[in-house]
Amino acid sequence: MARERLQPSKNAWWFSLIWPVAALALLLLFNLLFTPGFFHIEFREGYLYGTLIDILNHGSKVILLSLGMALVIATAGVDLSVGAVMAIAGSVAAQLINRPNTPLGAVIAAALVVAVICGCWNGMLVTLFRIQPIVATLILMVAGRGIAQLITEGQIVTFTHPGLTFVGNGHFLALPFPIVLALGMLGITVLITRKTALGLFIESVGDNATASTFSGIDARKIKFFVYLFSGLCAGIAGLVAASNIRCADANHAGLFLELDAILAVVVGGTSLTGGRFYLAGAVVGALFIQTLTTTMYMRNVSADVAPVPKALAIIAVCLLQSPAFRRRLTSTFRGKPA
Amino acid sequence: MGDETTALLEIRKLSKSFPGVRALEEVDFTVRRGEVHALMGENGAGKSTLIKVLTGVHGRDGGTVRLDGVEIHAHSPKEAEAAGISTVYQEVNLIPYLSVAENICLGRQPTRLGLIRWGAMAERARAALARVDLKIDVSQPLSSYSIAVQQLVAIARALDISAKLLILDEPTSSLDEKEVAELFKVIRKLRAAGMGVVIVTHFLEQVYSISDRITVLRDGKLVGEYETSKLPRMELVSKMIGRALAQMQKVEAEAKQAQVEEKRELLLELRQFGRPGWVAPLDMSIAKGEVVGLAGLLGSGRTETARLIFGVDHAKNGEMRLSEKRVLFKSPREAIREGFAFTPENRKVEGIIPHLSVRENIVLALQAKQGVTRTLSRKQQIDIAEEFIKLLGISTTGPEQPVVNLSGGNQQKVLLARWLVMQPRLLILDEPTRGIDVGAKAEIEKLIQSLRAKGMAILFISSELEEVVRGCQKVIVLRDRAKAGELAGDQITEEAIMQTIAGHPHGT
Amino acid sequence: MTRLNSKYIPLIATALVMLGLYAIGCILYRNFFSLRVVVDLIGDNSFLGIAAVGATLVILSGGIDLSVGSVVAFSSTLIATLVRDGANPIIAILVTLLAGAVFGGLTGSLIQLFELPPFLVTLAGMFLARGLGFILHPQSLPIKHPFFLHFISENLSLPLNERVNWPFTATCYVVIFLIAVLVAHYTKFGRYVYAVGGDEHSAKLMGLPVGKTKIGLYSVSGFCSALAGVVYTFYTQQGNPASCVGLELDAIAAVVIGGTLLSGGAGFMAGTLMGVLIFGLIQTLITFQGNVNSWWTRIVVAVLVLLFILLQNAISLISGRLGSSKSNA
């Protein structure tokens, strides 16, 4: 058989982006036609303003979460606890910053360390005790908010420290700081997965953990790491969330965001069964979800009702990605039995 | 013997194509009442496609199927069952958590007012089991019984459905000698009762032991239908294989040549090495440039030994010495670091990373050894992949093709490439030619000899005695998880190996 | 004897935990050992229990249903709006139950026909049902119909002694539980659910109606969630689209604590019943304690789930080791 270097199209890094970008483009097109002022961006007092900027800003939390989630899902796992970890990180930061003479650096470090410890807890349950990821992270998801409540002693803890509030509300290079954080984290994640062999090992472990072990990969270490990393991402997102509203709300911080993160990753092309993961796709997926939410908001759809179009979008994306659906569709057009 | 007048199953001109391959081309297949009919052929011959069409898993493109003179067209396993065709698969395919009684009666449980009568169901199950001479506690979960018993339960289920034709797909792969004998007793009983039994297998001995007639397929076409008693073994083999016979004889000559050279440096030595429940303590040594065969029946401990050597499982007894230095591997990583390589028996589960590309699969072990930070550049990876695609003759559209799309033989070659890249000191091959067509088999056997000539030590595990005899300078024989004997040089013949396995002198 | 045990060990463990918790309560508080506590335990948790019945069926088949809480909330809102608009309460209830079954059937169809992962489809269902509830009515809607206000509590509850009534909600739960046990262990459909969860591929090869079973069981789960919503309206006399957030997790926790394998194929309805009671016991203990915050419930439940998972893993590890010396005929 011919051994030419194969058509690169299917494996070029951007091929997998076609579907999520198309979905996002469709949504933006809708807004272009029906929502006046959607694309309006202005430059005021050295900062950029506009709906698109808002989308990037609010979407940065989900982007952060989806980076860690993509790696976890790639190992055929899932991390349901990221919302709860966000609450925990925010609570730690809020409590510490209000203590006199605590340097900002230490506060942020503490919050992130706690988040990483949460990630390690998940990693330990999955690798050492061999508990199914859904259940293992479910435990922290359920208990996590209780823990966050313990930290804040049941109160909503407000803070005014300018350094901490900058994280969620400041600007850097004319862009809101959360966007910068998210992009920075994207860059770091791309670096550590694609410039080292880590990405290959993660995909290998997710696709076939046994064979990976036989090839000399330490599957347990890889799996442990992705949960640790997911915890870190959740910690950063938690700081942004708390900073946004200048307080730590253990009950509501990050509520349902884990679902948005999973959605973003799946829309971005990563399969729930593990294997290949797509970071750019996850980012596009996160933007898609945030654009959807913002579109709803701008069209005066109540926030309570907004989940409905999200649900329909999930179904649409899943159907499009499902080979069974495509099969039935094509066979209907050809008139043959499925 | 079979009833010559009316055939039970009559398949005429059956054809089935998949995208890119014609799996069956106008195949005829006839099974008589009261007959055991073996369906044979190498991989890709079309055996499993034929069975899947019969049992309704695949549709057909052309041809007719007649059961008892009536034309049938099964679109699902349920329809095939209803027509009277039942299949027992190699992996049994029942529900492990449910009880034996439920597994037999599932779908046809006796009911009263819509509610299942458990007592009556147990009775019915026991009656079905009696027809296969099995008396067990039907309320226990199926998984608490051995595979051999589970298979008999599957047969009992088939009988309970009043099957006229029973298809057994590779039924003996997981059974030991005693269990095979029990199974054959049951098959003979069914034959005497007038059932038609189709047995798909590649174990030559068993075919001659149990079948009345043989149908051979090759490349999707019918080669012929024969009376077992009138078909000599060599003729059967040649009908299945055809041309590659000459190639194999060449390999044999080379291997025998190698046995002449005596002085070889010892690489690996096992002293009373083993693990309770896995393998009894055994002694073994492998020298550089030597191919040592590990022979024995299924379940005798060959794979277990390999896994202990490679560090997948941990040895509890004895010691392993590598070039005089004592070593103990706690994981494959450690073994790989010392220059060991292992192609496992179950390549789908333990070998290939299906959705990763040929390139990624080939460089995986090498990259794992180098660690996370010391990466092979893309160009390096592509060069390595292309080198081995050429060297091993891997049939693929290119280094980026997902390995899952390759045929079994080519997947095996990719796995081999993965380990050859590492330039190991010791290469452990566990059933490297299983499920591979004869052309590829001969290539791999040739490759093994050339590696041996370059000084690699090779541990060769295979159930096919001819392969072992052809290619090895020394053969360790295992029986029932313990070493039964060791043969070297001229001592190595199929007969000698089988005798050592059996454990009693020739003829008894 | 040993082989029988491994199937029932989780169930026994759950029973011990349940009895243990009750015993702790009796030791710590004088009023714990009373009829009222037991009756409240069942009555207060009846809508969780009914929802958990549906969840058990789904999990037995190897799937998962994240939409339970949202469907309960939606159902209660639907009944409230229908009754407010003048519908007969019985009709309203029947319509709601039908809606739940249809919703579940759609979920099951998507999962089965297009091979979509249950996690994602029921996640979408969760969003959809939650949003639809708010579309029906943006906030909680009290039900002022005499049927709900008086009839249920006066005519359909059973006085047990001069102070304690056995509420209708508890009756509903017990009846549904008994039907569930019957279905799971005595109907072909129930056994098919176990088979699909045990090994779906083999079930297909055995000719079992896998597709119909899967669609059917999600339909049943939707029905149970809707019924739980109905019971919720009996219990709270209102429809509330914002209620029952996270109920699906409570249901899953109850199922796991009850000994059903999350991967499907093995488990008992009785186990889930005990899991629900354990859930209720923890909450009752906390209420009795008084000043402990409710989020301690979540932590304790999470710890229990963890312990039971570990127990399940340990059992399968041990029986796997014993299984290497498997029995022959």
Q: Are B200 and B169 in contact (CB under 8 A)?
A: yes
Confidence of residue B508 (pLDDT cuts 50, 70, 90): very low
3-class state of residue B320 by DSSP: strand
- Look at residue A258 and give its three-state secondary structure: helix
For the segment B75-98, the average pLDDT, to the nearest whole number, is: 88
**Chain C residue with Cα closest to A251:** C295
The answer to whether position C327 is within a domain reads: no
**Cβ contact (<8 Å) for C305 and A139?**
yes
Distance of residue C164 Cα from the nearest chain A Cα, in angstroms: 34
Closest CB to C298 among A132, A143, A304: A143
> How high is the pLDDT of residue A7?
38
Q: Are residues B189 and B221 located together in one domain of the fold?
A: yes
Q: Using CA coordinates, name the residue in chain B closest to A199.
A: B372
Q: Which residues of C touch A91 (CB under 8 A)?
A: none
CB-side exposure of B131: number of CA atoms within 13 Å?
22
C255 belongs to a structural domain? yes
From B241, B256, B277, give the residue that closes a domain: B241
Amino acid B263: pLDDT: 67
Q: Do C324 and B77 touch (CB under 8 A)?
A: no
* Of A139-143, C52-56, C310-314, highest mean pLDDT: C52-56
In a domain, B488, yes or no: no
pLDDT at A189 over 80: yes
CA angle B344, B346, B351 (to 5 degrees): 60
pLDDT at residue B368 in the model:
94
Whether residues B300 and B386 share a domain: the answer is no
Task: Convert the pLDDT of each residue in C86-126 to its tens digit.
Answer: 888 889 999 999 999 999 999 999 999 998 889 889 989 99
Copy the structure tokens of residue B149: 């018993």
| Per-chain mean pLDDT for chain A | 86
**Structural domain harbouring B306:** 244-339+425-482+495-508
Residue A179: CA count within 13 A, CB half-sphere: 18
Task: List A residues 71-100 in contact with B (Cβ-Cβ < 8 A).
Answer: none
Q: Are residues B325 and B193 in the same domain?
A: no
Sheet of B426-430, strands arranged across:
B340-343, B426-430, B457-461, B291-296, B474-479, B482-488
How many CB atoms are located within 10 Å of the residue B4 CB?
Answer: 8
If residue B198 lies in a helix (H) or strand (E), which one and from where to where?
Answer: strand B196-200
Lookup: tokens for C199: 């090994």
What six digits make up the tokens of C54?
A: 């549906």
Q: CB under 8 Å to A105, separation ≥6 — which residues?
A: none
The answer on pLDDT for B144 being more than 90 is: no
* C-beta atoms of A319 and C114 within 8 A: yes
Does pLDDT of B2 surpass 50? no
Closest CB from C199, C206, C327 relative to B96: C199
Instruction: Enumerate the H helices of chain A as residue ranges.
Output: 18-34, 51-74, 82-97, 104-127, 133-152, 162-169, 177-194, 198-207, 209-214, 219-245, 257-267, 279-298, 307-321, 323-334
Q: For residue range B202-220, what is the model confidence (pLDDT) as tens digits? A: 677 788 899 999 999 887 8
Model confidence at B243, pLDDT cuts 50, 70, 90, reads very low
**Which chain C residues are Cβ-neighbours of A266 within 8 angstroms?**
120
Residue A8 pLDDT greater than 50, yes or no: no
Structure tokens at A213: 């072990």
Tokens linked to C204: 């297909």
Domains of chain A: 48-300 (1.10.3470)
Answer yes or no: do B299 and B354 share one domain. no
User: What mean pLDDT comes out for the span B220-248?
Assistant: 72
Q: Min CA distance, A195 vs chain C (Å)?
A: 32
Domain end marker among B197, B222, B241: B241
Other beta carbons within 10 angstroms of residue B407's beta carbon come to 17
Q: One-letter amino acid identity for A154?
A: G
Residue after which a domain boundary falls, among B208, B241, B274? B241
CA max distance for chain B: 81
For every residue of B397-423, DSSP letters joined together read: S-TTSBGGGS-HHHHHHHHHHHHHHT-
Closest CA to B29 of B15, B18, B43: B15
User: Residue B212 falls within a domain, yes or no?
Assistant: yes
Q: Same domain for B186 and B109? A: yes
**Across residues A303-330, what is the average pLDDT?**
81
Residue B370 shares a structural domain with residue B314: no
What would the two tokens of residue B409 be?
């033989």
CB-based contact B107 C324, cutoff 8 Å? no
> What was the pLDDT predicted at B238?
67
Determine whether the interchain pair B98/C323 forms a contact, defined as Cβ–Cβ distance below 8 Å. no
| pLDDT for the residue numbered A4 | 33
ipTM of the complex: 0.85
What's the structural domain count of chain C?
Answer: 1
Run of H or E residues at B121:
helix B118-130
Q: Supply the mean pLDDT for chain B.
A: 85
Any idea what the Cα angle at residue B178 is, between residues B177 and B183, rounded to 5°?
Answer: 95
Mean pLDDT of B193-204: 86
Q: What is the CA angle C86-C89-C94, rounded to 5?
A: 115
**pLDDT tens per residue, range B23-39:** 888 999 999 999 999 99
Q: Is residue B488 within a helix (H) or strand (E), and if so which, with residue range?
A: strand B482-488
Its sign, for the CA torsion B313, B314, B315, B319, is: positive
| Of the partner residues C186, C265, C266, the one whose CB lies closest to the CB of residue B115 | C186
Residue identified by tokens 């990821």 is A133
- What pLDDT score does B504 carry? 46
What is d(CA A49, CA A65) in angstroms, rounded to the nearest whole number?
24
Residues of C at the A interface, defined by Cβ within 8 angstroms: 64, 110, 113-117, 119-121, 123-128, 130-132, 134-135, 138, 241-242, 249, 252-253, 256, 262-263, 293, 295-296, 298-299, 301-303, 305-306, 309-310, 313
Provide DSSP, C156-186.
Answer: SSEE-SSS-EE-HHHHHHHHHHHHHHHHHHH
B372:A201 CB<8 A: yes
pLDDT in tens, B400-425: 999 988 887 788 889 999 999 999 99
**Biggest CA-to-CA distance, chain C:** 68
Share of chain A above pLDDT 70, in %: 94
pLDDT for residue B255? 59
Least confident of B335-339, B383-387, B493-497: B493-497
What's chain C's length in residues? 329
Residue C263 belongs to some domain of the structure: yes
pLDDT, residue B501, reads 73
Which residues of chain B does C324 touch, with a Cβ-Cβ cutoff of 8 Å? Answer: 277
Specify the CATH number for the domain of residue C315.
Answer: 1.10.3470
Q: Are residues B137 and B276 in the same domain?
A: no
Structural domain harbouring C151:
2-320
Based on the fold, state whether residues B406 and B437 are members of the same structural domain.
no
Residue C291 forms part of a structural domain: yes
Q: C201 to chain B: nearest residue by CA?
A: B93
Contact A273, A105 (CB under 8 A): no
Q: Average the pLDDT over C128-134 and give the result.
A: 92
Question: Domain check: are B170 and B248 in the same one?
Answer: no
Q: Residue B293 sits in a domain of what CATH number? A: 3.40.50.300
CA distance B184 to B206: 9
Q: How far apart are CA A206 and CA A202, in angstroms?
A: 6
Q: Nearest CB to C116: which of A131, A146, A318?
A: A318
C-alpha atoms less than 13 angstroms from C-alpha of B260 in its C-beta half-sphere: 4
B210 and B128 inside one domain: yes
Q: How many Å lie between the alpha carbon of C125 and the closest alpha carbon of chain A?
A: 7
Crossing angle between the packed helical segments A198-207 and A177-194, to the nearest 10 degrees: 80
Specify whether the CB–CB gap between B170 and B200 falls below 8 A.
Answer: yes
Q: Which residues of A8-26 are buried (b: 16+ CB within 10 A; e: fewer)?
A: eeeeeeeebbebbbebbee
- How many structural domains is chain B composed of? 3
- Is residue C328 one of the residues assigned to a domain? no
Do residues B194 and B270 both lie within one domain? no
| Amino acid identity at C36 | R
CA distance linking residue C147 with residue C167, whole number of Å = 14
**Position B403 in a domain:** yes
Amino acid letter, A94: A
Cβ distance C265 to B97 less than 8 Å, yes or no, reads yes
- Whether residues B52 and B14 share a domain: the answer is yes
Between chain B and chain C, how many beta carbons pairs sit less than 8 Å apart?
A: 92
- Indicate the burial class of C325 (C-beta count within 10 angstroms; 0-12, 13-18, 19 or more): exposed
Chain C residue closest to B138 (CA)? C329
The answer to whether residue B388 sits within a structural domain is yes
State the CB neighbour count (10 A cutoff) for residue C178. Answer: 11
Residues of C in contact with A149 (CB under 8 A): 293, 295
With a cut of 70, say whether residue B68 has pLDDT above it.
Answer: yes
Of B336, B350, B370, the CB nearest to A211: B350
Which of these, A319, A298, A272, lies nearest to A77 by C-alpha position?
A: A272
B2 in any annotated domain: no
Contact: A211, B351; criterion CB under 8 Å: yes
DSSP C88: -
CA proximity to B502, closest of B476, B488, B484, B482:
B484
The string of pLDDT tens digits covering residues C158-175 is 777 777 778 888 888 999
Q: What does the pLDDT average to over C281-289?
A: 83
CA B68 to CA B6: how far, in whole Å? Answer: 8
Q: Supply the DSSP string of A133-195, one letter for each residue.
A: HHHHHHHHHHHHHHHHHHHHTTSPEE---HHHHHHHH-EETTEEHHHHHHHHHHHHHHHHHHS
d(CA B453, CA B455): 5
pTM: 0.82
Q: Is residue B490 part of a domain?
A: no
Using the Cβ of B113 and the Cβ atoms of chain C, whether some distance falls under 8 Å is answered with no
For chain A, positions 181-200, list CB contacts with chain B under 8 A. Answer: 195-198, 200
Cβ(C79)–Cβ(C134) under 8 Å?
A: no
Residue A3 pLDDT? 33
Taking contacts as CB-CB distances below 8 angstroms, the residues of chain B near C210 are none
The tens digit of pLDDT for each residue in A266-297 reads: 888 898 888 999 999 999 999 998 998 888 88
Q: Do B399 and A218 touch (CB under 8 A)?
A: no
The first and second tokens of residue C206, run together, are 């055995």
For the four alpha carbons of C247, C251, C252 and C253, in that order, the dihedral sign comes to positive
Give strand pairing partners of B479: B482
Asked whether the beta carbons of B110 and B120 are under 8 A apart, the reply is: yes
φ/ψ of residue B43, rounded to 5: -65, 135
- Which residues of chain B make contact with A201, given a CB cutoff of 8 A? 367-368, 372
